[in-house]
Structure 1
């Protein structure tokens, strides 16, 4: 019998009555985590050492915290508006940041909010390195006795949908049953703000044992602020977009690289002449690149793409809206085979349009605008379906023949931090073993690209980075002390300076291809290391063409398209006002300019004698329109100078 509860404290009482002894709790990653219920449970358990608790989860979303200086002046009002004053921050996350989890509470995560826990000993010690497809089995090994999940209720009805997280819960229950373990207590928290997603995300009436329906007011959903896209990211997205084959399958990750790729694909489809003009400016020889010619394309998408990605995000919304994604697939294997063979009837095609779907994901995360779009299109009749991670991230879940037919010409685009000249990638952690984020599904998709006959894996990365001391470091290294993707799974790498095809290549060919897309100051070091390791012939010299790999040359190539709006700062929309966008540009310029002592001196000279903008709106937004005291007056002058230097 399903028990319905409204009060969160009553729900906690019920859980503690129904689950004896130590709590072993499973909770979804990301948006599907019921923050209010978990906080209520955490508060009760933290005060009672006799009830130990272990929490198994991932991606514990936390809004930006308090900050000082100019960053704090900007973030404070934005966070209040974007997340709301009543957003329920996860108490265990705040404790882990301070290494202050009680001794009787443990939190294991297999994926962390990027960079959020680098300094936490408790989080780093309790990290579990897993491929996404392994997570359900890993949690089942812990014999959880409680699963909590946020759900959506059908508008005007009683059914429940897993909505944002169809990824692991059903797989977890089946794995627990296979192991002969008791079924955990299943507790749902209904969130009226969560979009209703029909189809396979809907669960049976008896799926949950307890349904918690807290009264309002209800906090906003966690929404990712959309970030500006810079020159390097646009170049990466443009290069990557040429590798997509019409009629194929698309998987993308999250962040500005994915935003840039999505915009490039939209541009390719909706304004092909302008798209080709940008590519010519970026690389005049790109159209004849063997990968583009044989495995990609530059034309609009007549057949359209099928989206199949573990996470649905902002880019997929725009790709559907503009008609890039519209190739439907069906779960009837015989129908898909007839389509593949060219023997499908008119009725087959009609059924495909009537019943097929063009976008599948296992979880979603994005902006408030993205959630509104899902709310309007998630009723099961608009081509969007949420699936299990075992279906999305692999071929070997019992439907391999069907998924091969659906996932033709698949292109799997993921990001990494570091790539070696021999083809390995570090995407989740640092050389010292600390974890930045997690493996997630990256290995799954890389491995799947090698299992599908016509698929390719594309790892995207920025060619260099600037550290906290202002030193520029190459992201293309000879060697790195950690690997997420081993070099024997190497395929395609893309950064802002081009495309490196490593599939089936010799080590020497890999070295040359990767050095060809490295930034100029680091090329000779890579070549010298390769020669010392016997991986490159002694007489090899860098071609003159490699000298174009500089930020200045890239900025000059893209400048006309940045200026005319072809490559806007926020290609997928913005959560910042026009005034905030101006301020953000200025603050980013200040941060970059003050990274070194030399930069600080140059900046100080400019502030004392350089131009100062008279942007009253921006100064009011930063609460610096009437500065008092020396510190505020200096801050105001810094912002006015930066606004002047970054004005379009």
Structure 2
């Protein structure tokens, strides 16, 4: 019988008794970490310097940290409502303060974006790795404990949200290539996912369960979709073939792609008109019309908008009885609840697998090639160069923002599979006002995807098809999807390097790449309800949803003090959005700073 514990400290003692005082602990990325088990092992190592704890993981989830007083006023109650009760990981807090003792090490191959940018110890211990290589690196380090959150059903337990690396490690253990304890912590909020991750109790060395170790799952709030993301999403949806395969990640751009696919399916004429308005040349979408055969998803990350594609009748092409094969999932609470409450005969169509089977085509190559027809791998980037290289994980000084993850795997698949394409998406600009900067650059000291693997790149200004293009034609197409505020400087750099002829001029149609043109092009779709701010629901209440656009204007204005003061002056005489001010605690300002903030909110609200 597998020993069962209700006390994490007792379980930690049992682990030390089994493996000794050197613990190499593998934790799933993201949601699947057994928080109470990890914290008990950290506490044991803090008490006893003779215990050496080496943690290998990725995507340590932490609640967002508001950067300004206004963000704190808005996000504070939302964070408490959606993430309150989630047990923080002790090693993450120690690491963020650069306070890890010498007997505790933490190596990660993917960071929650930006959270470790200014943490020197985390930057030093980062491992640049493809997702599919992480299991091998764990074996090389001599992993002897894997601790994972699981769903329970009688004497069976589901790896649920994180089959990804754990299944690969279990296969290695079965083959005699690894030897570790699999420790499970049962969480009643996790949906029991059928398939490869449905394991008998005897697969686990210990199990932690009971009321004292239950906790709400980490549920990041949904992001509102800005105009740039919607433009990108509609462009991307126009490249997806009916009967094909899709992969995408989390965030506003992925939600916009999903909404674009749904609009295309339900309102094909409106979709075609929107894409044509967004195109600088008025070009019709390459692919359009409803999805008759439907799509199949082979995606490392199972995100909630893929459920919405299923509900809309877009995700319906089956492979081995499944419309989706995924490696891990993460999303809002409504997503977890939907999976828990889903009828069994429907849930079985969402199969969680080993990451080696999702992010690669090898091992069962013929079947995977047959399944992944006309694949579109949609991934986001931070920046790109005019010559087609992509920057997704780090800065030019070597600091890591997030990680490579599976992005390279999907780019490689796009070149290995017949009819497949890699689609890299990114807003053409970051920031606003005088601090606006182009995300398309002439060159950059760091790269994630090299330019010899350039394929399709999409900004809000259009689609750049780069596969197999000369340097000259790559530069031309990248200029065409760049923001017009930065085109002259980029054009000069390309000419100086001899990549464009001296007399080349950007065609007139592409010199109107401005946020104002995109906003105008999206107006009819917004008026028709086809491009809502939060198309797939949210954790915001009605007042908070009303504040989103207001706070978005203020956030953009913070980059330009003159624009911010304009809102303040306007707010002095503008009508008061009383419910919004009350929600922000600014309905009765007591200090000058609160009064200025209240005026700014009133002014931004009156500018809608």
Question: Is TM more than 0.5 here?
Answer: yes
Following superposition, the deviation at residue 602 of structure 1 comes to: 3.1
Q: Give per-residue Cα distances to partners, 1:366-415, cap 9 Å, x unaligned.
A: 1111111211337365411001100000011x200000000001000000
Answering whether residue 442 of structure 2 is matched by residue 478 of structure 1, we say yes
* 8 A contact 1:197–1:379 mirrored in 2: no
Secondary structure of residue in 2 paired with 1:136: helix
TM-score, normalising length from structure 1?
0.91
1:365 to 317, 323, 330: 330
Q: Give per-residue Cα distances to partners, 1:423-443, cap 9 Å, x unaligned.
A: 100001111111111000000
* Structure 1: segments with no counterpart, 5+ residues: 331-355
2:352 to 386, 390, 402: 386
Between 1:45-54 and 1:224-233, the stretch displaced more is 45-54
Following superposition, the deviation at residue 566 of structure 1 comes to: 1.7
Q: Give per-residue Cα distances to partners, 1:211-241, cap 9 Å, x unaligned.
A: 1113247321111210110110000000000
Aligned to 1:223: 219
Aligned to 1:268: 264
Answering whether residue 507 of structure 2 is matched by residue 543 of structure 1, we say yes
Question: CA–CA distance in 1 between the matches of 2:61 and 2:343?
Answer: 23
Aligned to 2:87: 88
Following superposition, the deviation at residue 421 of structure 1 comes to: 0.9
Question: CA–CA distance in 1 between the matches of 2:387 and 2:526?
Answer: 34
Following superposition, the deviation at residue 613 of structure 1 comes to: 3.2
Following superposition, the deviation at residue 478 of structure 1 comes to: 1.0
Question: CA–CA distance in 2 between the matches of 1:180 and 1:201?
Answer: 20
Following superposition, the deviation at residue 587 of structure 1 comes to: 1.9
Question: CA–CA distance in 1 between the matches of 2:499 and 2:174?
Answer: 51
Question: CA–CA distance in 1 between the matches of 2:442 and 2:399?
Answer: 21
Answering whether residue 383 of structure 2 is matched by residue 421 of structure 1, we say no
Secondary structure of residue in 2 paired with 1:168: helix
1:301 to 291, 303, 308: 291
Question: CA–CA distance in 1 between the matches of 2:367 and 2:522?
Answer: 42
Secondary structure of residue in 1 paired with 2:344: coil
TM-score, normalising length from structure 2?
0.96
* 8 A contact 1:140–1:176 mirrored in 2: no
* 8 A contact 2:394–2:402 mirrored in 1: yes
Secondary structure of residue in 1 paired with 2:127: coil
2:300 to 310, 322, 344: 310
Aligned to 1:167: 164
Between 1:421-430 and 1:94-103, the stretch displaced more is 94-103
2:377 to 397, 412, 421: 412
Aligned to 1:106: 105
Aligned to 1:39: 39
Secondary structure of residue in 1 paired with 2:171: helix
CA spacing shift, 1:218–1:174, aligned 2, 3 Å = closer
CA spacing shift, 1:378–1:11, aligned 2, 3 Å = farther
* 8 A contact 1:490–1:503 mirrored in 2: yes
Question: CA–CA distance in 2 between the matches of 1:322 and 1:596?
Answer: 41
CA spacing shift, 1:280–1:68, aligned 2, 3 Å = closer
Following superposition, the deviation at residue 107 of structure 1 comes to: 0.5
Following superposition, the deviation at residue 250 of structure 1 comes to: 0.5
Secondary structure of residue in 1 paired with 2:485: helix
Aligned to 2:459: 495
Aligned to 2:585: 623
* 8 A contact 2:396–2:446 mirrored in 1: yes
Secondary structure of residue in 2 paired with 1:63: coil
CA spacing shift, 1:69–1:218, aligned 2, 3 Å = same
Between 1:474-483 and 1:561-570, the stretch displaced more is 561-570
* 8 A contact 2:568–2:603 mirrored in 1: no
CA spacing shift, 1:521–1:39, aligned 2, 3 Å = same
Answering whether residue 58 of structure 2 is matched by residue 61 of structure 1, we say no
Answering whether residue 528 of structure 2 is matched by residue 531 of structure 1, we say no
Following superposition, the deviation at residue 606 of structure 1 comes to: 3.0
> Mapping of 1:111-190 within 5 angstroms?
111-154=110-153, 157-175=154-172, 180-181=177-178, 183-190=179-186
Between 1:416-425 and 1:616-625, the stretch displaced more is 616-625
> Mapping of 1:179-218 within 5 angstroms?
180-181=177-178, 183-216=179-212, 218=214
Secondary structure of residue in 1 paired with 2:419: coil
Question: CA–CA distance in 1 between the matches of 2:151 and 2:540?
Answer: 28
Q: Give per-residue Cα distances to partners, 1:542-593, cap 9 Å, x unaligned.
A: 1111122011111111123223322100011111111011222222211211
Following superposition, the deviation at residue 178 of structure 1 comes to: 5.4
Question: CA–CA distance in 2 between the matches of 1:67 and 1:419?
Answer: 27
1:553 to 510, 517, 521: 517
* 8 A contact 1:143–1:176 mirrored in 2: no
Q: Give per-residue Cα distances to partners, 1:295-345, cap 9 Å, x unaligned.
A: xx1111000000110000021010001010000012xxxxxxxxxxxxxxx
Aligned to 1:333: none
Secondary structure of residue in 1 paired with 2:533: coil
Question: CA–CA distance in 2 between the matches of 1:380 and 1:90?
Answer: 36
Question: CA–CA distance in 1 between the matches of 2:22 and 2:593?
Answer: 52
1:563 to 508, 519, 527: 527
* 8 A contact 2:44–2:51 mirrored in 1: no
Following superposition, the deviation at residue 285 of structure 1 comes to: 4.8
* Structure 2: segments with no counterpart, 5+ residues: none
* 8 A contact 1:25–1:54 mirrored in 2: yes
Aligned to 2:596: 634
Secondary structure of residue in 2 paired with 1:263: helix
CA spacing shift, 1:287–1:596, aligned 2, 3 Å = closer
Following superposition, the deviation at residue 105 of structure 1 comes to: 0.8
Question: CA–CA distance in 2 between the matches of 1:65 and 1:482?
Answer: 27
Secondary structure of residue in 2 paired with 1:206: helix
* 8 A contact 2:245–2:296 mirrored in 1: yes
CA spacing shift, 1:380–1:61, aligned 2, 3 Å = farther
Secondary structure of residue in 1 paired with 2:220: coil
What is the number of equivalent residue pairs in this alignment? 607
* 8 A contact 2:275–2:284 mirrored in 1: no
CA spacing shift, 1:247–1:420, aligned 2, 3 Å = same
* 8 A contact 1:377–1:384 mirrored in 2: no
1:576 to 532, 540, 544: 540
Between 1:375-384 and 1:317-326, the stretch displaced more is 375-384
